[in-house]
Amino acid sequence: MTSYTRIAGLADIPVGKMLRVDHAPEPILLVNVDAHIYALCDTCPHEDASLASGALQGKFVKCPLHGSRFDVRDGTVQEEPAEHGLTVFDVRIEGNDILLGPPRS
């Protein structure tokens, strides 16, 4: 059985916004796109910048350092210089709670 952990509340992240959550072993970026919550690794694989400091452009998050862009739905790189995508996690919503699950494979 897969375990899910409460990581935030729905009220913490309005539509069109991002939220960094410190969660061991790595910080998590929560993104609310069109009332759908996505959870990704918050650290850009290119230069270790926090993506929460970047810009959300529709379904894409842009790194504040060198402009790498990632699709929040699946973590894929859309624009270099990053060469590797982001880890994406399963998310469940129970009531007003956002629950973080395991990384997607």
Task: Return the SS3 of 11.
Answer: helix
Please tell me the distance from the alpha carbon of residue 12 to that of residue 30, in angstroms, as a whole number: 10
pTM: 0.92
- Walking along the chain (105 residues) 10 residues at a time, the average pLDDT comes out as 89 96 91 97 89 96 92 95 93 97 88
Please tell me the distance from the alpha carbon of residue 39 to that of residue 25, in angstroms, as a whole number: 14
List the domain boundaries for the chain.
Answer: 5-103
Specify the CATH class of 5-103 in words.
mainly beta
